[in-house]
Amino acid sequence: DRLAQLAEKIDGSYTSALVYPAALIAPSRRRWLIIGGGDGAAAREALRFKETERVVLVDISRMVVQKTQELIPSFWQNAHKDPRLEIVYADAFQYARESREEFDIILMDLTDPADTFHTSYETAASDSLYTAEALSVSCERVDLLQGELLLHRIVGSSRPLLEAYDALRRFARAG
């Protein structure tokens, strides 16, 4: 699609904006689920917290994980060698649905949904993760120890992103 998905130049600002707001307001930073994030940067930042006990990174593409470790090691900074990190190669929606594990923080580090206005694609691998059902499943995996918390950051202004944001608002109001 010729759209950049990651760049070393913006890694610090993008990854900080994804990870730190959730980390700072979550009651606990012990258990993390990262949906997508195959470039390793979000996992790297989650593992920086002393209280982090476990990070599960679920990405559908083994190739993305392996190639970024090989070609852009600055994103991983050896986080993949940390014993607190488990990398699962699976469909994240299916993993979240089937897992009974609870997490303190869930990050969605995804590609943009399909958007024929900006790309030539009518579907994208991450489309199913931008639905109200996916958000509901994610909420079920969050350990709501001290009140409910759902932080979802959407960058861009394409129609699918705005529709996902509207679905999130409706879901939050209904919850």
Tell me, yes or no, if 109 is annotated catalytic: yes
* Burial (CB count within 10 angstroms: exposed 0-12, middle 13-18, buried 19+), residue 26: buried
Alpha carbon of 20 to those of 14, 33, 43, 142, 160: distances in Å? 10, 14, 12, 17, 25
CA 138 from centre of chain: 11
Of 39, 104, 109, 112, which residue is the catalytic one? 109
Other beta carbons less than 10 A from residue 123's beta carbon: 10
Q: Which run of H or E residues covers position 10? A: helix 8-25
Q: Max Cα separation, the chain? A: 44
Residue 109's φ and ψ, nearest 5 degrees, are -105, 80
Q: Which amino acids are annotated catalytic? A: 109
